[in-house]
Amino acid sequence: MRRTMLGMSQESLGRAIGVTFQQIQKYERGVNRMGSSRLFDFARILSVPVAFFFEGYEESQEEHGTAASAPVSAYGGMADGAEQDFEHERLTSRETLELMRAYHRISDGKTRKRIAELIKTMAGERVG
């Protein structure tokens, strides 16, 4: 998602990291695992903290009743479950990406936070 939000192609990200675009595709689909040094490289190139890749990790474990040692995908379900595919499709849909791009163009941090809280409230999530 972050790569797409930045308007970066898989090929350009691959060049920056030193891998082929096919390898980037495998990383993005969760087919291949990556080591911590590679994760650090991605964070640096995508201008995010490493923690960015773990946002929602604890919540997804609680929601799905998974143990701390169970493999959990970046999309919030068991790594090899069908739920991952469904979540991935929603996260990479054109509508979602356009919404995310627009959201990140809002310069006022307070406004962005209030919009995020509004969306969570509308989705029935607890805000706070």
The pLDDT assigned to 73 comes to: 43
Q: What is the pLDDT of residue 82?
A: 43
pTM for the full predicted model: 0.50
- The verdict on domain 1-53 having CATH code 1.10.260.40 is yes
Q: Nearest CA to 84 among 93, 72, 66?
A: 72
> What SS3 state is found at 78?
strand
Q: Measure the CA–CA gap between 105 and 20, rounded to whole angstroms.
A: 30
| Residues 36-57 pLDDT 10s | 999 999 999 999 999 888 876 6
Question: Would you tell me the crossing angle of helices 94-105 and 109-122 to the nearest 10 degrees?
Answer: 140
Model confidence pLDDT, tens digit, residues 20-30: 999 999 988 88
Run of H or E residues at 13: helix 10-17
- Phi and psi angles of residue 82, each rounded to the nearest 5 degrees, phi first: -70, -25
The model's pLDDT over 60-100, given as tens digits with 9 standing for 90+, comes to: 555 555 544 444 444 444 344 444 444 555 666 777 777 88
Q: Are 110 and 98 in contact (CB under 8 A)?
A: no
- pLDDT confidence tier of residue 101, bands split at 50, 70 and 90: confident
